[in-house]
Amino acid sequence: MTGTQVAELPYPEDAADAFARLRPLAGAAWLDSGAPRHQARYDIMVALPGRELLRREGVCWRREGGDWIRIEGDVWALIADMLGPRREAVPGVPFSGGALGCFGYDLGQADVLAPRDDRPGDGLPELWLGFYDAALILDHETRRALLVQRPGGERAATGIRERLLQPTAPTPAPFRAGALQEEPGRDGYGRAFRAVRRYLRDGDCYQVNLARAFRCGFRGDPFDAYTRLRRWSPVPHGAWMTLPGGQSVLSLSPERFLAVTDDRVETRPIKGTRPRDRDAARDRALAEALAGSPKDRAENVMIVDLLRNDLGKVCRPGSVTVSQLFGVESFASVHHMVSVVEGRLTPGTMATDLLRASFPGGSITGAPKKRAMEIIAELEPSRRGLYCGAIGYIGYDGTMDTSITIRTAVCADGVMTYRAGGGLVMDSDEAEEYQETRDKAHAFLKLAGEGGD
């Protein structure tokens, strides 16, 4: 830890208020634990990255202290190169500097769609990472706020400290949503659903994750929308960030994609959903029905097998195990079936190698992955963008934690876009699957004035 400093600051009771103070700083981003209502242990807040890496329309750009410069190379190798040799960990904190940002679903299509995907997109980059040498860690278990500063992070640490200690936080302009549009609507979804059924029947694939988009115009500040969404639907893998083009990312993901600590890997795929009910007895019955559903169990085990295969590409032989199968976890608006797959990285393997081998996550493509992604590109009318990619960090110390970018809204050019989908298998019911997309979009529909109180 030569040259690394850790300073204790006053612990903020309200993480959203703390980040509101930091948000005006360039490159500010927040990995949100959902505290206090859905409390994972840590919040991570960063700002003022020393370097940035961006990929848009297949072209990579790097910024370090000035203008963006076009660079060549494989994106995963570029990330590893910018991280550099592994540095010593800082005890007691999950992130002590490194790369933090978002990986779009389209990063995983290079080997699937050739030469390119001509469907319209949302105007977002396929990748954005800030490389941070300072971070504010809120430890909700010990109720401490720790400011970690690596060499080179003096400016960022000073900016974070000064902003956090300001007497008041800026008040965001109230968010107001316009009319809702769905892509596709009920009829279009039905046509795509039946096309997937034909592919399943013909043996092209075993499962396909079919998604659709919800869009609305808006006025006001998307951060106001985020604070409302996290209050309604707190999750352990939330995130807020503003991309270099000014687009806002509001993520309320319940699903861990890949985590690495030392050489240990964990992924927690979600496959299987039921809505919550205000009546406690009916709510328990819905959770029990999910736990015992042969269809949902079949979907879940297909994805578990896919992820075991992905992890097996970079993990030690025999180390990949399933430590939880068909668990049920409950969130604000839905119950989810969650499994846990673990492994140990092969010596010399980096977190970026694991990402390359596993991206995008199998729980949001289908099986087999390549054919499912081809079908998704054929049937979904627009590119997914950040949806079903990943958000998280890769530390200088080799650690990593990322979420699957679901339950996520993107604000760009006055339009908010939210996507929701579900895995389809042969015995899927069209009406039930359509309704599941609305169940998963419950918080967004509430924000847009639909979907109940």
List, by residue number, the catalytic residues.
Answer: 255, 271
Measured between alpha carbons, how far is 364 from 368 in angstroms, rounded to an integer? 12
User: Smallest Cα–Cα separation from 432: which of 248, 295, 316, 306?
Assistant: 295
Strand partners, 347: none
Kind of pairing between the strands at 98-103 and 127-132: antiparallel
User: Read out DSSP for 379-433?
Assistant: HSSS--TTTTSEEEEEETTS-EEEEE--SEEEEETTEEEEEEEEEE-TT--HHHH
- 270-308: burial string, b at 16+ Cβ within 10 Å, e else: bbbbbebeeeeeebeebbeebbebeebbbbbebbbebbb
| C-alpha count within 13 angstroms, C-beta hemisphere, residue 48 | 19
Contact 336, 244 (CB under 8 A): no
Q: Rounded to an integer, what is the distance from CA 401 to the centroid of its chain?
A: 10
295 vs 424: CA distance, rounded Å: 10
Question: Please, is 198 exposed, middle or buried when counting C-beta atoms within 10 Å of its C-beta (0-12, 13-18, 19+)?
Answer: exposed
Long-range contacts at 181-190 (CB < 8 A, ≥ 24 apart): 181/214, 181/215, 181/216, 182/212, 182/213, 182/214, 182/215, 183/212, 183/213, 183/214, 183/215, 183/381, 183/382, 184/212, 184/381, 186/434, 188/212, 188/381, 189/434, 189/437, 190/430, 190/434
The phi-psi region of residue 338 (left if phi > 0; otherwise alpha if psi is between -120 and 50; otherwise beta) is beta
